[in-house]
């Protein structure tokens, strides 16, 4: 949410009513959401988009590739009745007073993107579902005061865990998900004196532990002697997290 309680919802992978409840629990007004912005078409990022857009009559922003993938998949009716606005990776667009710069990410989805989000005063970097942090992504997220990054799995837990080998390979691939260690390396790349907070998200319930993700990012910040100056939070899967202001 931005100033005066107006803002944008990035992805909606839960049922709309559950998102409403979690926003209310965090002290946020769902009617303040003026747009939905979608990173890619996977169900855990999309399932509540259509219902929210129809209920609140807000536009949905996504790439043409994402829209095509939805229309050809099992969720093809997801966008029925919703206003869809297409954007291009690498070209900035405006939504609810925020400037979004979409940066391509390396994931097994159609036109998967992360975002550099600016309001004229502060910058937020948002990137989940990325197998590797490309130079373009690192460049796109430079200078952010707040980073929301994927810290999906611990390598040892993934390799020793119950997933079948093909799925482990997918997760570890350059089009899969970012490990705790790789996330820490990305935070180190993006560190600057104006960085205030890092939020770790998209943690696997099976192949990760909150304390492991937290420790990996804290270790990365020690390189810059910034453990005490940068807040590190781990996003919850079972409820709303802390509301931050930057």
Last residue of a domain, one of 63, 88, 113: 88
Q: Which of 15, 13, 11 is nearest to 33 (CA)?
A: 11
161 and 79: one domain?
Answer: no
pLDDT above 60 (res 148): yes
What does the pLDDT look like over 60-81, one tens digit per residue?
A: 999 999 999 998 776 778 889 9
Contact in structure between 51 and 27 (CB atoms under 8 Å): no
Whether 102 is in a domain gets the answer: no
14 and 66: one domain?
Answer: yes
What distance in Å separates the CA atoms of residue 51 and residue 181, rounded to the nearest whole number? 36
63 and 150: one domain?
Answer: no
Q: Which residues contact 166 (CB under 8 A, 6 or more apart)?
A: none
Mean pLDDT confidence for 163-168: 98
Mean pLDDT confidence for 47-71: 94
pLDDT above 60 (res 4): no
70 and 176: one domain?
Answer: no
pLDDT above 90 (res 83): yes
The torsion of the CA quartet 113, 118, 122, 125, rounded to 10 degrees, works out to 0
pLDDT above 50 (res 99): yes
pLDDT above 80 (res 17): yes
65 and 160: one domain?
Answer: no
pLDDT band of 151, cuts 50, 70, 90: very high
Q: How far is CA 124 from CA 3, 87, 96, 113, 121, in A?
A: 14, 19, 15, 14, 10
pLDDT above 90 (res 56): yes
Whether 26 is in a domain gets the answer: yes
Whether 95 is in a domain gets the answer: no
pLDDT above 70 (res 48): yes
Mean pLDDT confidence for 78-94: 94
What range does the domain containing 40 cover?
A: 1-88
Last residue of a domain, one of 62, 88, 114: 88
pLDDT band of 114, cuts 50, 70, 90: very high
pLDDT above 90 (res 214): yes
The pLDDT assigned to 5 comes to 64
Q: Which residues contact 116 (CB under 8 A, 6 or more apart)?
A: 100, 101, 103, 123, 124, 125, 126, 140, 141, 144
Residue 109, CA atoms < 13 Å, CB-side half-sphere:
29
6 and 73: one domain?
Answer: yes
Whether 131 is in a domain gets the answer: yes
Task: Tell me the pLDDT of the chain averaged across its residues.
Answer: 94
Mean pLDDT confidence for 24-36: 94
- Looking up residue 80, the CATH number of its domain turns out to be 3.60.15.10
Whether 209 is in a domain gets the answer: yes
pLDDT band of 1, cuts 50, 70, 90: very low
Mean pLDDT confidence for 200-226: 96
The count of structural domains within the chain is 2
132 and 222: one domain?
Answer: yes
Whether 98 is in a domain gets the answer: no
178 and 220: one domain?
Answer: yes
């Amino acid at each position: 949410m931005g100033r005066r309680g107006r803002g944008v919802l990035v992805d909606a992978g839960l049922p709309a009513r559950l998102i409403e409840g979690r926003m209310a629990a965090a002290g946020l007004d769902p009617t303040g959401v003026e747009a939905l912005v979608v990173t890619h078409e996977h169900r855990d990022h999309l399932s509540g988009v259509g219902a929210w857009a129809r209920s609140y009559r807000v536009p949905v922003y996504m790439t043409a590739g994402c829209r095509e993938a939805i229309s050809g998949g099992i969720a093809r009716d997801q966008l029925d009745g919703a206003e869809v606005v297409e954007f291009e990776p690498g070209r900035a667009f405006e939504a609810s007073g925020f400037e979004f710069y979409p940066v391509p990410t390396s994931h097994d989805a159609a036109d998967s993107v992360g975002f550099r989000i600016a309001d004229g005063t502060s910058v937020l970097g948002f990137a989940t579902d990325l197998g590797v942090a490309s130079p373009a992504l690192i460049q796109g997220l430079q200078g952010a005061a707040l980073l929301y990054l994927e810290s999906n799995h611990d390598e040892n837990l993934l390799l020793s865990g119950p997933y079948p080998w093909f799925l482990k390979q997918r997760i570890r691939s350059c089009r899969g998900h970012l490990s705790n260690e790789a996330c820490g390396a990305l935070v180190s790349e993006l560190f600057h004196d104006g960085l205030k907070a890092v939020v770790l998200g998209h943690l696997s319930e099976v192949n990760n532990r909150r304390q492991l993700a937290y420790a990996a990012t804290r270790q990365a910040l020690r390189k810059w002697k910034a453990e005490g100056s940068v807040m590190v939070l781990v996003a919850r899967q079972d409820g709303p997290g802390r509301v931050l202001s930057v």
